[in-house]
Amino acid sequence: MAVVYVGRDKLEQAKKYLERILKEDEGNIMANYNLGRYYEQEGLYEKSIDYYIKVLTTDQVYKPAMSRMAFCYIQINKKERALEIYENLALLEPKNSEFILKVAELQRDLGNEDKTIEYYKIALNLKGDKNDLYFKLASLYFERKEFLFAKDMYIKCIETGEINFDIYKNIATCYEKNGDFERSLHFYNEALKLKDGDIDCLFGQASSYEGMGKLEEAMHYYRMIRGIAPQDSRLFYYFGRYSLKTGNIQEALQYLQSSMTINPDFAYSFYEIGHYWIKEGNFDNALQYYSRAVTLEPKDINLNKTMGDMLISQGRYTEALPYYEKILELDPENKDINLLAGEIYFNNKDYEKSFICYEKVINKDPENSKINLSLGDIYYIRGKYNLALKYYNNCLRLEPESAILNNCVGLLYYDQQFYDIAVKNLKRAIDIDPHYFWVYNELGVIKRKEGNIEAAMSYFQEALTSSENDIMAFAYHNMAEIYYDRGFFEEAKNYNSKSLEKEENSSVYYHQGLISYNLKDFSSAEDNLKRAIDMLHNEDDINLIYAPFKNFKKILKKLPDKSDILYNLGNAYIKQIKEQEAMECFQEYLKIFPRGPKAEEIKKYLRDYVKNKKTLSS
């Protein structure tokens, strides 16, 4: 059953016939569908939709009705509804390029450019003739000022035989924006063969010559343009840029100001004035002009990089990051930007994003020692020690005479308790750089763990010949611990005091509190333990699993456990008959560490105190 569209009379007869069928069988799919087609032909799209809905009530996936209904929704400007239907059709027939393209076009009409690109790419894998798709993708990328992607698509157009003025001009612009001036000049010349005297291409030729450093050739074209379009804002911009390069500063500023007056939204005039302020050493003014430029052209890679680099030069790394991220949206494989962004992510402890950036760099440059080192750091932080060692050893292969790298690998082996291998690498670090004093501390710690106390003390004494406070503080503290373990509390106290003179930290205050307790100086023990807790609050955000190279000192500086501090502080209060303070201290212990190692002992103290109504000190 079908409506045959051959004249008005025939149509009316068919319509009446279909309506009679529906009186007897209101769910008849073909009758409802053909009536929908009839009203569609009449331009009554909403009524047509009603009949298509009746079809889909009976058969939810009747694709002809779905397709026609989507068409009708487009005609009455309900594109969101049409998009929903075409998306369902694309799911039902994932290899139907017609439905995929309909989704792409509707996404574009609705301003969803990312989705448009996604569906165009899907269609590319399905469609036989790809020329129109390459051109649509290229045009969309070009409009978005994503010139790297646009260039690739325009090249595909040319490879498949599509040649016209717009393709040549736009691909030339892409090459120019990406700094490939020889290719941009070639394609501008090709475009001018098809459209002689085009002002945009003449500007492009001049700019390409300027980019190649051929200023006289550039000026030849600028003068030619001045005869054609004397008030074009770009002309004043280019004259200003040329004058800056030739040292005519005042003339340059006048040209650039004229350019901004004619076209206040022309970003590159702001950029050039920013560049002038950089040369003058006025970074605040430069930043103001660069910021305006990148606001006007947010997808310009060079402007984003300039802004990011400017902020980096001022130590404003986190502020620089969004500009590098924007570049990576436009050019995901950019090695230099991945390197910069990776470092910022790493320093911000965003190791997942840092890893993604570094992997892209290492894929292009596997012999890059710095990136091997950073990837090793990230794997170490993730606890994947074998992979960390792989990258650290890559670094050592590339830089075998690096004391820092030998120390880095040695520390990793130390942390994994492979002391013999650790000592070998650490001694190698000292052989390379005898003044690398932190390594003496590390060797001292290992020898102490092995029970070779005399060798440990010898290494710590060597570390004390350093002039750096943190190195000396660590050595003094380790000497104090050795004397403490031997029961020489006065000597331990003296060394710890020297450590605190060089550098304060919670570990040394905690240890000093224990020493004072053993010397029965409970008031001093209380003071030191309270100080340890105060300092621990300032240090408790420190990640104890540090990358050896980035933070190799801290791998040995383990923070004291707060439960130990509270337990010993409570005992110091008991010894001073400060029952209330002891109660509060022990209650805080149980609140934070209800199953801590001393929890049962503390609970017994508290039960006895309440039950017998006697002081804890008794």
Q: Is the pLDDT of residue 3 over 50?
A: no
Closest CA to 603 of 567, 573, 561: 567
Task: Express each pLDDT in 209-250 by its tens digit.
Answer: 988 989 888 888 888 888 888 888 888 888 888 788 888 888
In a domain, 488, yes or no: yes
The pLDDT-based confidence of 127 (bands split at 50, 70, 90) is: low
* 552 and 517 share one domain: yes
Same domain, 551 and 588: no
Instruction: Please determine, for residue 551, whether its predicted confidence score (pLDDT) is greater than 80.
Output: no
* Whether 548 and 577 share a structural domain: no
For residues 581 and 521, state if they share a domain: no
Q: How far is CA 136 from CA 25, 200, 383, 416, in A?
A: 47, 21, 47, 56
Give how many domains the chain has, as a whole number: 2
Q: Please give the pLDDT value at position 129.
A: 66
**180-189, 268-277, 594-603 — which one is most confidently predicted on average?**
180-189
Residue pLDDT, tens place only, 495-542:
999 999 998 888 899 999 999 999 999 999 999 999 988 887 664 433
User: Is the residue at 590 inside a domain?
Assistant: yes
What is the tens place of the pLDDT at every residue in 183-196? 999 999 999 999 99
Query: Which residues lie closer than 8 Å to 526 by C-beta, 6 or more apart?
Result: 513, 569, 572, 573, 576
For the cut 90, the answer to whether the pLDDT of residue 374 exceeds it is no
Look at residue 308 in the predicted model and tell me its pLDDT.
Answer: 93
- Domain check: are 478 and 542 in the same one? yes
Residue 543 has pLDDT above 50, yes or no: no
Q: Domain range for residue 462?
A: 450-560
Residue 341 lies in a domain: no
Assess whether 465 and 529 both reside in one domain: yes
For residue range 93-108, what is the model confidence (pLDDT) as tens digits? Answer: 888 888 888 998 898 8
CATH number at residue 547: 1.25.40.10
Q: Do residues 523 and 496 share a domain?
A: yes
Mean pLDDT of 464-486: 91
Task: Say yes or no: 550 and 604 in one domain.
Answer: no
pLDDT band at 613 (very low <50, low <70, confident <90, very high): low
Torsion of CA 544, 548, 553, 559, to 10 degrees: 10
Q: Is residue 387 part of a domain?
A: no
- 3-state SS, 431-500, equals HHCCCCHHHHHHHHHHHHHHCCHHHHHHHHHHHCCCCCHHHHHHHHHHHHHHHHHCCCHHHHHHHHHHHH
In a domain, 433, yes or no: no
pLDDT, position 26: 87
Same domain, 552 and 574: no
585 lies in some domain: yes
In whole angstroms, what is the distance from residue 541 CA to residue 559 CA? 11
Q: Of 75, 77, 74, 51, give the one whose Cα is nearest residue 64.
A: 51
468 and 497, same structural domain? Answer: yes
Is 490 inside a domain boundary?
yes
> Given the structure tokens 């694309």, which residue do they identify?
90
With CA atoms as reference, report the closest residue to 370 among 356, 357, 358, 352.
358
Q: Are residues 494 and 456 in the same domain?
A: yes
Contacts from 85-90 at CB under 8 Å and sequence distance 24+? 89/63, 90/119
Residue type, 210: E
Which among 93, 42, 44, 47 is positioned nearest to 67, based on CA atoms?
A: 93
Boundary residue ending a domain (560, 585, 602) = 560
Does residue 555 share a domain with residue 455?
Answer: yes
Decide if 204 is inside a domain: no
